[in-house]
Chains A and B, each alone.
Chain A
Amino acid sequence: MLLVLLLLPMCWAVEVKRPRGVSLTNHHFYDESKPFTCLDGSASVPFDQVNDDYCDCKDGSDEPGTAACPNGSFHCTNTGYKPLYISSRWVNDGVCDCCDGTDEYNSGIVCENTCKEKGRKERETLQQMAEVTREGFRLKKILIEDWKRAREEKQKKLTELQAGKKSLEDQVELLRTLKEEAEKPEKEAKDQHRKLWEEQLAASKAQREQELATSAFQELDDDMDGAVSVAELQTHPELDTDGDGALSEGEAQTLLGGDTQTDAASFSDRIWAAIRDKYRSEVLPTDLPSPPAPALTEPREEQPPVPSQPAEEEDEEEEETEEEEGGEEGEEEDSQVPGEQPKETPPPVVPPQTASPTEEDKMPPYDEQTQAFINAAQEARNKFEEAERSLKDVEESIRNLEQEISFDFGPNGEFAYLYSQCYELTTNDTWGSWAGPDHDKFSAMKYEQGTGCWQGPNRSTTVRLLCGKETVVTSTTEPSRCEYLMELMTPAACPEPPPEPPASGNHDEL
């Protein structure tokens, strides 16, 4: 009963007489008993000049039903569908713009009235949309709840982590102190050990020199008189100092420090040092190798084995990039003996030695006491580093959680579930911002600074969010080069549906 009452006035309204192209709301401006005043007030004309196919008003309001004015509007009632304003220039242009066909009343073409059909379709669509929206909104509420819960959990976890972080920090500090304490005796013991060894080395070197001097003296002392004379020295022309290839008497004498001879003690003290580098022994075919400066190689502490380097991954990558370059590179690679170290292997930890040190050059192993100190310090170091790593992990987790919690997941966090999800997004763009219009900024997302385009900008993507029951990408297009547009259906974009409309069987206006 109520329905009928509601509908009746509308039926009358449709019957209201008004000039062609005038909407119901405007009909009172068109009173045939009075001259017509343009809606913008610019002019007033006799009423019979309304819709006389000549434009009198600047705003086109005197010709709503003809194409005479360039800027007029024609109103179609479109009973059964939505009323519509079209440009009055489209009146009688041979194109059916209004579904009721009223815009083509004199163009010779017949427009079918499609309003009923369109209305039916529209209603179906609206119903479907309403259904989707309802369901989507229900899911959205779940998403919001999920996020609320997840957020709380994350918050809790965060608080825990933050608390844990404090104690971890303390622990790290403590372990640092312990480590430093353990390292002190270790250093002292090691220094002591090294010092001893260096002294020992020096002594043995001096002794060796002494031995050499003595044997040289004996060699030189041809007459075995316990002294080396100028003449005896002259048998060794290699000691020549002025470069003429012979050792003159004067030169020899100079070498002997101005004396004509020298005894064994002063030879080894004063003269040997000056001639040892040139002196060629008569016994040995080549001169005695000057002992290399002892390399200070320390005994290794827990030397990790040099890891064998398969490095296959790197190799593959290289091959790919080099493929295009072709021939030469390939050949080079082919010439490599399999099993040889690949080019990119880091230098071995042990530096190559030109002469291997003799046994005595090696520092003797630490004594038990020192090794004990070292072991203790190492243990302290390991513990400290481990604690420091855990602290870093915790800090990282805290940062991630903070970022996620503070991220703008929409007004109620409904978009949180999309975080770190991938929906066919392969352009490597990074999150930019929400990009919807001001009143609806969560209706689109902007991703920017993707990989560069050949002769174009960096790739960027705008994702338009549409209400849907599921989360799916419905379309991807490239409206401008390297600027992509995606449509993503998601319940998170569903608005709150209006309250259930009362069932209305006969309602056909939209």
Chain B
Amino acid sequence: MDAAEKEEISVEDEAVDKNIFKDCSKIAFYRRQKQRLSKKSTYRALLDSVTEGKESTRFQIINEAAKVPLLAEVYGIEGNIFRLKINEETPLKPRYEVPDVLTSKPSTVRLISCSGDTGGLVLANGKGDLKCHITANPFKIDLVSEEEVVMSINSLGQLYFEQLQIPPKQRATKENEEDTSDDTTQENQEELGLWEEKFRNFVDVKDNGPASIGLDFSLHGFEHVYGIPQHAESHQLKNTSDGDAYRLYNLDVYGYKIHDKMGIYGSVPYLLAHKLGRTLGIFWLNASETLVEINTSGDTEPAVKDALTQTGPVAVKQKVRSQTDVHWMSESGIIDVFLLTGPTPSDVFKQYSYLTGTQAMPPLFSLGYHQCRWNYEDEHDVKAVDAGFDEHDIPYDVMWLDIEHTEGKRYFTWDKKRFPNPKRMQELLRSKKRKLVVISDPHIKIDPDYLVYAKAKEQGFFVRNHEGGDFEGVCWPGLSSYLDFTSPKVREWYSSLFAFSVYQGSTDILHIWNDMNEPSVFRGPELTMQKNAIHHGNWEHRELHNIYGFYQQMATAEGLIQRSKGKERPFVLTRSFFAGSQRYGAVWTGDNTAKWSYLKISIPMLLTLSVTGISFCGADVGGFIGNPKAELLVRWYQAGAYQPFFRGHATKNTKRREPWLFGEEHTRLIQEAIRERYTLLPYWYSLFYSAHVASQPVMRPLWVEFPDEVETFGVEDEYMLGSALLVHPVTEPKATVVDVFLPGSSEVWYDSKTFAHWEGACTVKIPVALDTIPVFQRGGSVVPIKTTIGRSTGCMTDSPYGLWVALSTKGSAVGEFYLDDGHSFQYLHQKQFLHRKFSFASGVLINSCADKRGHYPSKCVVEQILVLGLKKQPSSVTSHSPDGKAQPVAFTYCAKTSTLNLEKFSLNIGADWKVQIQ
């Protein structure tokens, strides 16, 4: 007990000091917007200024405070998306518009405009089922879908736009006569932080002055909103009216606090809203510091309803009973917002990935288990840990090396004492078809003898400080400069560093991990870079802070692709991310803590990442900080085995925790959990393919799969993997039973181990022992699995498959299977892939081709088929192979569990065949 308390305390000691980071009251642009908005100066649209361009409809908006009108543009975009841009018509200098996030210039569709009844403007898509109603005074846009107002913009009048001004000093010299009405007292100046903002010991000098923007969105009938990662918070976004807004500002927060809205490592300014019959998305394309306020009200007042019906020409069909107001505020840039109109969750996922891209198709090995620690000390240590996995017969795919593998934290180098022969070490891993991941951070040690530094310095590749010299900050290596990844030239050069000939000691099994790329700057304000540091194109850091990490991962992934001459898929893990990061690899939830509460919060955190496009995500198994007890570690492995990115990791001052260090029983339990992961690899891989080509998240909140069931909207202690498996990880100590909610009134669910089944729309009490991972297969699904587990994914290429066929209440099931070489781009360029569809109906299971474009020969066979929920014992089972041959199949039937097991089955997974059960 004493020891336990001590442990807790030591962990507490390392918990984050929140004073280092700003809350809203310490953010000047937030204070300004709040102050100004309380005075309400409403914008009106000058609809006589409407011009219709090739792509967009433009008009001016103005309020009394603004001396010059703003320009608003409305675009129709393919796939039922609207885009609204608001900018100054002729700003003093250009305002930052986020590049490189949109995959390409989105194709616009022409909007048909007509005048509304009350002098407003109506823009409709081609089919006329989606319309924007623009009201002139006060300026407001209603998004109308099939005669229903689903969203209103600026209906609360929170549109805010600080136009760029000449600095007061210059103004004073230029316009001596200028009146002083604008002048503010010293005190007020400090409060407003227009040209200078203080925080702790730091002063942010703003050469461009105030430039913040804000806008409100009212979501009619919506009570459930999700997204805007990354926060250690619940999946469903909370009301912020009685606390801080959700902050989007990428920060290195060691041991972040949970159930907090502070910004951590990454940001995706994208919010989803869901109600019965409709899912919407709001993508706020802005990379500066951003705050989001959420205000959900259960019942809106009738007056508001009336106003809606009056201003809009459309009768509100559905009774508006609730509303969620979302207020976005950013420090700078322009208003550039995409409205994703759904109407289904799946549609919204497609619309979002149409804009920002889909999940990169991961190399197969990266879906295996990853073993990491800060740090595996030396080559000998690596060898011993690697051997430990074989000795205990635990599969794993990737060994990881943290910062200590380098020569004094000079990335791209090796510590010669610890790793005298990195190639030999990689050959050892290669011999077992395993891989190596090493770290590469964006800070570069200031050392003229360090080639990377010298080259970057010479070419001016570092971010510059406000005074014009190279920015210098302290990070792991000591004083460092930071590569300016926002520059295409720097990215190109950085990519070239990964070439085998340049990166000494690297081989093709070496992949990369980008850490500290918020960027983390020790002793900087909020442990990051000063906002007035200067990037490529003379843009201030404040404009693009949230996208810095995105660019590093982009350049790293590109480098790995280039070193293979475009042939191989890279694996790159990043800690910092932005909208679109899914295109470059995986993301994890940073420095979590070895506590049950952090295990629990990992689920909503990953669900939130998943619905915002980042399917390949995970949390450090065991908790990075502190020492997990055996029970927590086992439960974490069990949870991690069913989360997309599966890596054990631990910080430097923790005890060793390789899976076999907790006694035989716990070793066995961890081994079992990891083996379950490898058993399901074919399913995981197929899900990732679906994320890659069809934008569907791998890990899904229940509401995504059951959008018509209100009870699922707030569930975050369980989730779906694809559409077939429901997982409810045990996240409580000493649990003996868990309450599992099985959704869907017409569904049937099967326990994946006992095959016991339940009808849906009920909560069942599932008894759990330490070896229980509550996983349920949904009736109506087919899940492909591997029947034997090798020591790594590479060793399982030829091992046979099994199919878990779980019958629906109607006695049918469908499922898909995807296979390719697991590592190259051949699936894309040469269509070397296999995409199969399994369907079961009327006693016949059919293996057919799901995508005729693909060809990939496999010698693998399906050797086992398990049919769950077969009520009647069959009299015979016959297989029909492609050549028409019919063969009887041996089977066993268990009446108690209604389970049919087809054994000694041996038909090629890639061939057309059917199995008939009579």
A-side residues, CB < 8 A to B, are 53-54, 67-70, 87, 89-90, 92-96, 107, 453, 455-456, 477-483
Contact = CB atoms under 8 A, between A and B. Distances in A.
Most chain-B CB neighbours within 10 Å: which of A67, A92, A482? A67
Nearest to B655: A480
A110 B106 CA distance: 52
Contact of B432 (A68, A95, A477): A95
A53 B794 CA distance: 20
A54 B393 CA distance: 21
B381 interface: yes
A89 B380 CA distance: 26
Contact of B788 (A70, A95, A107): A70
Contacts of A92: 798
B377 interface: yes
Given A54-B904, A107-B798, A456-B653, A95 B789 contact: no
B378 A93 contact: no
A317 to B, nearest CB: 29
B304 interface: no
B880 interface: no
Given A54-B903, A67-B788, A481-B652, 15 more contacts: A67-B790, A67-B799, A70-B788, A89-B789, A90-B790, A93-B796, A94-B798, A95-B433, A477-B377, A477-B380, A477-B381, A480-B654, A480-B656, A481-B653, A482-B653
Nearest to A67: B788
B254 to A, nearest CB: 12
15 contacts: A68-B788, A89-B790, A90-B790, A90-B791, A92-B798, A94-B794, A95-B431, A95-B791, A455-B10, A456-B653, A477-B378, A477-B381, A479-B377, A479-B381, A481-B654
Interface in B373-410: 377-378, 380-381, 393
A482 to B, nearest CB: 8
B428 to A, nearest CB: 11
Contacts of A53: 863
A456 B6 CA distance: 12
A87 B795 CA distance: 13
B378 A87 contact: no
Contacts of A70: 788-789
Contact of A455 (B14, B790, B798, B904): B14
A54 B862 CA distance: 12
A453 B653 contact: yes
A479 B656 contact: yes
A477 B798 CA distance: 40
Interface residues of B, number: 29
Nearest to B434: A95
Interface in B635-664: 652-656
A477 B655 CA distance: 14
Contacts of B377: 477-479
Most chain-B CB neighbours within 10 Å: which of A477, A480, A481? A480
A506 to B, nearest CB: 32
A93 B791 contact: yes
Given A54-B863, A68-B788, A90 B381 contact: no
| Interface SS majority for chain B | loop
Interface string B658-686: 00000000000000000000000000000
B797 interface: yes
Contacts of B432: 95
| Interface SS majority for chain A | loop
Interface string B781-815: 00000001111001111110000000000000000
Interface string B754-792: 000000000000000000000000000000000011110
Contact of B653 (A68, A90, A455): A455
B903 A95 contact: no
A89 B788 contact: yes
Most chain-A CB neighbours within 10 Å: which of B10, B380, B904? B904
B433 A94 contact: yes
A90 B795 contact: yes
A482 B13 CA distance: 19
A496 to B, nearest CB: 29
Nearest to A54: B904
Contacts of B863: 53-54
Contacts of B796: 93
B900 to A, nearest CB: 17
A59 to B, nearest CB: 15
Contacts of B14: 455
A195 to B, nearest CB: 65
B884 to A, nearest CB: 24
Contacts of A67: 788, 790, 799
Nearest to A477: B377
Contacts of A482: 653
Most chain-B CB neighbours within 10 Å: which of A70, A94, A477? A94
Given A68-B788, A70-B788, A89-B788, A95 B653 contact: no
Contacts of A478: 377
A67 B791 CA distance: 12
A479 B790 CA distance: 28
A376 B431 CA distance: 91
A95 B431 CA distance: 6
A62 B117 CA distance: 82
Contacts of A455: 10, 13-14, 653
A455 B381 CA distance: 23
B797 A94 contact: yes
Nearest to B903: A54
| The 8 residue pairs across chains A and B that have the minimum distance between CB atoms | A93-B795, A481-B653, A456-B653, A480-B656, A93-B790, A455-B653, A54-B904, A67-B788
A303 to B, nearest CB: 56
Nearest to A69: B788
A87 B431 contact: no
A256 B656 CA distance: 98
